[in-house]
Structure formats: C-alpha cells, structure tokens
Amino acid sequence: MIARLCLVELRKLVDTISGAVLIGVAAVLAGVFGGGALLLRPGAPFSEVAQLAGVPGGTLVVVMAILLVTAEGSHRTALVTYTVTPHRRRVAAAKAVAAATLGLLVVVFAVVAATVIVPVGALVTGDVANWSVETATLACWAAGTVIGALSGWALGLAIGNAPAAIVLVLVWPMMTGMLANVSALVPVLPWLDSAAVAGFADGVDPGDLGRFLSGLAAWVVVPAVVGLVRVTRGEVR
C-alpha cells in the first residue's frame, strides 16, 4: 500500500504543468551550470561539474516538494485523497518518500549530465578531461540535496501555503546574510543551517555534527511535527 502511494505521489510531481516546466528548466540549467563550470575553470574535476550541474535541480526540488504537499489544498483535491486513503499520516509519509526520491533523482541526473559535459567541455576548451571524483564532497552534496527536498516537504506541511513556504526558502539565505551583521546572532546562525552537512566533506567533528543536527531539527524535524499535527487535526476542505 505504501509503495503504491509513493508511486502516486511521484506521478503527481510530473503530471501537472508546473511540475513539467520545473523539471524542464532544471534539465536545461543543469547543462548551463555544468558547462559554465568548465568554461570558467578549464579542467574542473568531474565531481565539481556534477555539483554545479545539480545546483538548479537542488533548488527546484525544494520548490517541487512544497508544491507536492500544498497542492492538495490549492487544487481542492485533499478530500478525494483522504477519502481514498483515510490515513493522513500515511499520505504525508508517501509524500516525504516521493520528495526524497526526487532529490536522489536530481543527484543521479547531475552525475549523468557531468558524464556528458566533461568530455564535451574538454573538446571545446582543448584541455584534458578531468575525471577525478572527491567522494566525500559528492556524498555530502547528495545528502544535502535530499535533506533540502525533505525540508521543502516539512515546510509545506507546517505552513500549508505554497507561496509563503517558497518565499521563506528563497529569502532565508539573504536574511542570513543580513542577520550576520548583528554580532549577537553570529554564533547562532550556523546552528540553523541544514546545509551544515557539507562540512562533513572535510571529516566529521563534534561541531559539524552538532550544527548539522540542530539545522536538521530546525528545518525538517520541527516543521514536520507541526505539519503532521496540523494535517491530522485540521479540517479537510
């Protein structure tokens, strides 16, 4: 039953105009970002090209995860969904699996795109193709992409409004830059960063682990708990 629900939620990601457009935009920008990496830095390693190719998809996957959760309300389909599957938490769990799967697919697509971009870029620039892979960096980036997708799912559940959740995700990096000018907040901001998993590329230390766990709690765990309570107890319309 759960597997079927997950497949249904994955299909919802691509069977709407907005979903198809976002996927198309991510595919085009993957080539632009990955190709740009080689043009601006000839001989860039394979892992760096893959990461840059996945930057657009990593951003858009958060937006798609938010839309996946909030579309039930905006499209007035929640009543049908919960009539077919009365267990609301099961539906929410299926959406989480779909969001995480989409994040993994973005990683796979970025790696495949880099496999094409690296030799083509070498032909264009006249440099030798650099196939070196920094495993730790690539793994941390992949984990960060999946966590980003789950944060979109959690925020969508908690807020229940797509524009508000998307604005929060897109504006937060700028807000962080402004808040960094407040000396009292400088020690706090690193503990609210779910992207702290990137620090694991240089090895795991207690500081990195603590910042990662606190960021994960702030952006995934707490919003997910709030969202599950809201979805479970809220009135279906």
Joined together, the tokens standing for residue 72 give 């039930």
Share above pLDDT 70 across residues of the chain, in percent, rounded to a whole number: 81
Q: What pLDDT sits at residue 175?
A: 83
Between 64 and 86, where is the model more confident?
64
Between 234 and 59, where is the model more confident?
59
Q: What pLDDT sits at residue 221?
A: 92
Q: What is the pLDDT averaged over residues 181-208?
A: 73
Domain that holds residue 115: 2-233
> How many angstroms separate the CA atoms of 58 and 65, rounded?
11
- Give the number of other CB atoms < 10 A from CB of residue 99: 28
- Confidence check: pLDDT of 17 > 80: no
For Cα atoms 82, 86, 89, give the angle at the middle one, nearest 5 degrees: 90
Q: What pLDDT sits at residue 237?
A: 59
Q: What pLDDT sits at residue 224?
A: 93
Q: Looking at the 3D structure of the chain, how many domains does it have? A: 1
Give this prediction's pTM: 0.85
Please check whether residue 37 is in contact with residue 44, taking contact to mean a CB–CB distance below 8 angstroms: yes
**39, burial (CB in 10 Å: exposed 0-12, middle 13-18, buried 19+):** exposed
Using the structure block, give the residue that is written with the tokens 């995860």.
Answer: 65
**100 SS3 class:** helix
> How many angstroms separate the CA atoms of 165 and 168, rounded?
5
- Give the number of other CB atoms < 10 A from CB of residue 37: 23
Between 222 and 236, where is the model more confident?
222
* Amino acid of residue 206: P
Band (pLDDT 50/70/90 cuts) for residue 1 is low
Chain mean pLDDT for the chain: 79
* Amino acid of residue 7: L
Using the structure block, give the residue that is written with the tokens 């590329």.
Answer: 201
> How many angstroms separate the CA atoms of 35 and 24, rounded?
17
**36, burial (CB in 10 Å: exposed 0-12, middle 13-18, buried 19+):** middle
